[in-house]
Structure 1
């Protein structure tokens, strides 16, 4: 008797990207890009952006959790894939986040078996994205600055720094700016010149001033470091003093 061909069965999988020591990466930040591949032949089974809210701060950050307690609710950011498979498939799940901030992008990867008809919903598959988004606001990229304009007035350094989910960094808040070390490494003509400590002056905004007393090609490398979580982030800008 001839055998019957196996029928593909709809299998649902939710994938979420969660910022380390913070919340989920969703629509407000442009989302995280998810790719689900068949590990055997690298065929893409599903791909797309996470969408939704970062989630509930109290639930995620402040409430002690028992085993199997769900972090996400119906509004929490995620990417739901519906994959038709006939037999168990070993897949590779890649998450690139935050998708709209290339300099800060991190790729997180996991691998697992999908079983036909055995859905992975609720929290689904959560991949952690470490770090900070660091955008240097001032000086501007490749800005030309006259030496006369900074000789008697220190040059201002400003950087916008947020969690990888877009969560606010402020004074004394859940993400306390006073606990984050932010410094600018100053180079002139490719050589280390000095390091400048930056301070929080507004939500997400860190600032410092530094004396510039010579013409040249400058680079500011602004870094953020949080000792408790191990989160780090870097932004760079090059400019010219003439």
Structure 2
């Protein structure tokens, strides 16, 4: 059993598209098993709210994982690779570990758990390569909106279990390839972060939104380009 678990959050499963798992023979690179984690993100109370003693199992029968059935006839040293989340390339983390597999000796329960740090960020406004007339934004500015979730898809909000008050979310703006300004984004509702960018000139703009939690070390980035024209 192989599982991917978001740092400071839950397991990565079907709700976010899963994590891609590869079990590879380290000697010759041959892939012994490959597939995606499926299932639920797990029991929130058990994973996030309960103290964990040694040998505490965090997963149950519904918790996301990939059961790798490996055909070997002698002990084999393998590399286990995780690419997660598989459907969000801008947020993908590659993690790996190595272990001896022994014929007939199953590794079940929680199994091999690889930690996936970070946030998934999607900039919603403005749109990629959007052309924006200067006259429409010179007084009102441009609304910057991003959707941010944990790597398992778990929700972020003020005073929630994943508390946005602990996060710094900022839009760093370039104009014509040069530093322009930055905008601190607020969290008015679940997963949504917003701010307003004052714009006085036409040009080629780039917005990079980052999220940072100093308590956990989780980070995430998304980036888009758009055009303000006369």
Counting only pairs closer than 5 Å after superposition, residues 140-151 of structure 1 correspond to structure 2 as 140-151=127-138
Structure 2 counterpart of 1:78: 65
Q: Distance in 2 between matches of 1:235 and 1:81?
A: 33
The unaligned stretches of length 5 or more in structure 1 are 1-13
1:170 Cα deviation from its structure 2 partner: 1.0
Structure 2 counterpart of 1:208: 195
Structure 2 counterpart of 1:224: 211
CA RMSD between the two structures: 0.5
Q: Distance in 2 between matches of 1:109 and 1:83?
A: 17
2:18 corresponds, among 18, 25, 31, to 31
TM-score (norm 2): 0.99
Q: Distance in 2 between matches of 1:94 and 1:223?
A: 26
Structure 2 counterpart of 1:69: 56
Secondary structure of 1:117's counterpart equals coil
Structure 2 counterpart of 1:132: 119
Structure 1 counterpart of 2:143: 156
Q: Deviations over 1:24-59 (max 9, x none)?
A: 000000000000000000000000000000001110
Secondary structure of 2:39's counterpart equals coil
1:179 Cα deviation from its structure 2 partner: 1.2
Count of residues in Structure 1 that have an aligned counterpart in Structure 2: 229
The structure with the largest strand share of the pair is: 1
